[in-house]
Amino acid sequence: MRKLIFIIFFFYTTNSLAEKLNLPDISENPIFAYENSNAKVNIIAFVGGGGIKKGVGKSQNPLAREREAFKNAGTNYYIFPNPKKNKKIEIGYRKSKDHIEKIKKLIDYLRLKNNLPIILVGHSRGSVSVAAATNSLGLKNIKGSVIMGSITETSSAVSSSFIMKTMFKNKPDVPIFVIHHEKDSCVVTSYVGAKRLADKHNFNLLKISGGGTSGDVCGPLHYHGFEGKMTEVIQSIKEWSEKL
């Protein structure tokens, strides 16, 4: 009986603040929405790695684990799902026409709900989704875009076509906010590359210092995932977005 109560309590507290948007034209999976009645911006978040499949409860990606913090900071927060159930999202798909069309459909749906500006936020591989959508959809659809711990270097698994230097070869018409930890040690997400990108196009740059390192260097619980620093990150995104 005690175990059953714990399961019910865990499910309730994990999902109580979330509304599930079922939009089959966008995904077989629900879109988890965390809405604040005082919000001034709509944030669409793109989780890195293999993305978000069924739900967000177990993910430690900063854009998933801090979902309630984004809402509590005063934003409407929507986590973009993977297109198919139980399937991870491949990095190449993040640049595809299908992916961008689905992002546009969510933007159009949110505009029917309210007239708040749309901000895209992507972490790590999620930065590829954000860059592709930003370049394709432009200022007509997006008020601003944020890339966190973005891909700045190549590797055996990441070609030059996915790094931010290539994706933002030309400066977009959408304002870009680059957030990166100065000690990010992941081989494909160096701070030096992020700073070089920001300097080239005069993008806003926030250098994060400090925080925790309890996990893998390329994982969500390390400098790359802004462990212990997301309060600063979220507040900075909110303030930057509301000034656009």
Domain range for residue 159? 25-243
- The average pLDDT across 131-136 equals 98
Place of tokens 């996915």: 162
Is residue 181, in this structure, part of any structural domain at all?
A: yes
Q: How many domains does the chain divide into?
A: 1
Is residue 77, in this structure, part of any structural domain at all?
A: yes
Identify the pLDDT of residue 113.
93
Tens digit of each residue's pLDDT (9 = 90 or more) over 165-203: 999 999 999 999 999 999 999 999 999 999 999 999 999
Contacts of 81 (CB under 8 A, 6+ apart): 26, 27, 29, 30, 31, 32, 51, 52, 53
Is residue 4, in this structure, part of any structural domain at all?
A: no
Q: Which of 14-18, 27-31, 54-58 has the lowest mean pLDDT?
A: 14-18
Residue 8 predicted with pLDDT over 90: no
Question: Strand, helix or coil at 207?
Answer: strand
Residue 143 predicted with pLDDT over 60: yes
Helix, strand, coil share (%) of the chain residues, nearest 5: 40, 15, 45
Is residue 97, in this structure, part of any structural domain at all?
A: yes
- The average pLDDT across 86-103 equals 95
Residue 130 predicted with pLDDT over 90: yes
Identify the pLDDT of residue 86.
85
Q: What's the mean per-residue pLDDT of the chain?
A: 92
Is residue 57, in this structure, part of any structural domain at all?
A: yes
Is residue 16, in this structure, part of any structural domain at all?
A: no
Is residue 154, in this structure, part of any structural domain at all?
A: yes
Identify the pLDDT of residue 46.
97
Confidence class for position 53, pLDDT limits 50, 70, 90: confident
Question: Strand, helix or coil at 112?
Answer: helix
CA distance 76 to 205: 23
Higher-confidence residue: 53 or 66?
Answer: 66
pTM of the full structure: 0.92
Identify the pLDDT of residue 196.
97
Give CA separation, 55 vs 18, 31, 33, 92, 143, in Å. 11, 9, 11, 22, 27
Is residue 1, in this structure, part of any structural domain at all?
A: no
Q: CATH number, domain at 76?
A: 3.40.50.1820
